[in-house]
C-alpha cells in the first residue's frame, strides 16, 4: 500500500513508536512494576452499528512464587447488548517480542500490516459471531 501525506507519516511512525517495549513473556522486572497495553475501539458494521473495545496488556503482580508477568486480553462487544471476556495466557500461548507490534495471545492475534492493525479475536467469536 502506498500512501502520502499525513497517512503515510502515520504508517511509517506507528511501527517505530508504538511497539511493545518489553517482551510479553519472560522474566518479570525486579520490582514487579512493568505494565504495558494497547487499546482498540472498533465500529462494527450493521444497522444499528455495533462496538468493539479491546485491551491487550502485559502486567506484573505478586504471586506465591514471586513476581509474575501475565499477558491478558480484555474484550467487550456490543451488538444489541454488551458481552465480554477477560483471558489470561501462559507463556507457551504467547508469541511476541520487544520492538515489534505483532502479538499472538492463544488464538487471538494482533498484526501490523500495510499501514493498519489487523485484529483477530477468537475470544468473542462464540458470543458475537464470526
Residue 30: closest CA among 58, 63, 60 = 60
pTM for the model stands at: 0.81
Residue 24 burial by Cβ neighbours in a 10 Å radius (0-12, 13-18, 19+): buried
Torsion of CA 41, 47, 48, 50, to 10 degrees: -30
35 strand-pairing partners: 59
The per-residue pLDDT for 127 is 58
42 strand-pairing partners: 52
Tens digits of residue pLDDT in 18-43: 889 888 888 888 888 899 999 999 99
Tens digits of residue pLDDT in 42-74: 998 888 899 999 999 999 988 888 888 899 999
Residue 123: how many CB atoms within 10 A of its CB?
21
The per-residue pLDDT for 1 is 46
Report the C-alpha gap between 113 and 94 in whole angstroms.
19
Residue 127: closest CA among 88, 86, 84 = 84
The domain limits of the chain are 5-128
Report residue 129's pLDDT band, with 50, 70 and 90 as the boundaries. Answer: low
Amino acid at each position: 500500500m502506498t500512501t502520502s501525506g499525513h497517512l503515510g507519516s502515520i504508517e511509517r511512525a506507528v511501527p517505530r513508536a508504538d511497539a511493545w517495549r518489553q517482551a510479553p513473556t519472560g522474566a518479570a522486572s525486579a520490582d514487579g512494576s512493568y505494565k504495558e497495553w494497547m487499546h482498540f475501539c472498533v465500529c462494527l458494521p450493521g444497522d444499528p452499528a455495533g462496538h468493539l473495545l479491546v485491551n491487550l496488556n502485559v502486567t506484573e503482580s505478586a504471586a506465591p512464587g514471586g513476581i509474575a508477568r501475565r499477558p491478558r486480553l480484555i474484550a467487550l462487544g456490543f451488538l444489541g447488548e454488551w458481552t465480554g471476556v477477560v483471558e489470561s495466557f501462559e507463556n507457551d500461548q504467547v508469541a511476541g517480542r520487544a520492538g515489534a507490534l505483532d502479538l499472538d495471545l492463544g488464538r487471538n492475534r494482533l498484526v501490523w500490516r500495510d499501514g493498519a492493525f489487523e485484529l483477530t479475536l477468537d475470544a468473542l467469536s462464540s458470543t458475537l459471531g464470526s
